[in-house]
Chains A and B, each alone.
Chain A
């Protein structure tokens, strides 16, 4: 294999790596091959002594950090960057207002969820207090020799108590949903921030 073929093959195998790093490496290998030839080796011997371009490239790729490869992969072309900025600036009345509206809608729905949760707890509390109150009322009526009123009050107390138990479990379920959703949103937010820091 000639020096030109070797370098061409190596360049091909290193495609996708940071371009400056690739050029530096190719220059380095080119120099080594030239020095070997100056030392008396033939071009083929000099190239063979270095090894296979594919194997060398595999080692280089293995040793290159993933973030460097990703940066090179997702680097926008110079011209594209200008167009992206221009598009963002000119389109800002549209996308920015949509973003704000979307955020406001999300916050409204979040507040609505917690309002619902608080309401259900309030209903539970009211029913529990009513059940306790009517139970006392029943006892009072019983002691006042009003058995029918006492029966009615105790009946209402039992009914309210039953409903309050139902609303207790309902409130608990809604609260779990609320907290779970809050945890999920917080986790997503942290993750997105952490990715930016790492980058």
Chain B
């Protein structure tokens, strides 16, 4: 798979994992497992990139006597998810056209 395409898909997967409410690193990896296997290193890089681009915010809170970081989707992150869904509707139309040509 094209590396830029894969990177974009992973970003959207992570955003989707936190769209229903804030989450934390380990939970994001667990929630994504049915869809995609993601290493901790990859997740860290994606979370950093999304934070820098304003798609999510981070807060630190105490949990069972230790600190834990929670990630929450921003308006920009929601917008990115909406754009992704639109892009894929167009992608499917193109895919159907291409595969239709193959079956002729």
Q: Chain A interface (Cβ within 8 Å of chain B)?
A: 24-25, 27-29, 31-32, 34-36, 38-39, 50-51, 56, 59-60, 63
Partner of A60, one of B24, B41, B67, B69: B41
Q: In the complex, A44→B93 CA distance in Å? A: 49
Residues of A within 8 A of B24 (CB): 31, 35
The main secondary structure of chain A at its interface with chain B is helix
The SS class assigned to the B binding surface is: helix
Which A residues touch B40, using CB under 8 A?
28-29, 32, 50, 56
Q: Which of B39, B44, B64, B67 has the most CB of A within 10 A?
A: B44
Count of A-B contacts judged by CB separation below 8 Å: 35
Can you show 21 pairs from A to B with CB atoms below 8 A apart?
Answer: A24-B48, A25-B44, A27-B69, A28-B44, A28-B69, A29-B40, A31-B24, A31-B26, A31-B68, A32-B25, A32-B26, A32-B40, A35-B24, A35-B26, A35-B68, A38-B64, A51-B39, A56-B41, A59-B41, A60-B41, A63-B45
| Residues of B participating in the A interface, judged by any CB pair closer than 8 Å | 24-27, 29, 39-41, 44-45, 48, 64, 66-69
Contacts of A34 in B (CB 8 A): 66
- Complex CA gap A35/B30 in Å reads 11
Cβ of B45 and Cβ of A36 under 8 Å apart?
Answer: no
19 A-B pairs besides A25-B44, A28-B40 with CB distance below 8 A are A24-B48, A28-B44, A28-B69, A31-B24, A31-B25, A31-B26, A31-B66, A32-B25, A32-B26, A32-B29, A32-B40, A35-B25, A35-B26, A35-B68, A36-B26, A39-B26, A56-B40, A56-B41, A63-B45
Return A112 CB to nearest CB of chain B, in Å. Answer: 55
- Measured CB to CB, the closest approach of chain A to B68, in angstroms, equals 6
User: Residue of A at shortest CB range from B69?
Assistant: A31
A38 surroundings in chain B (CB, below 8 A): 64
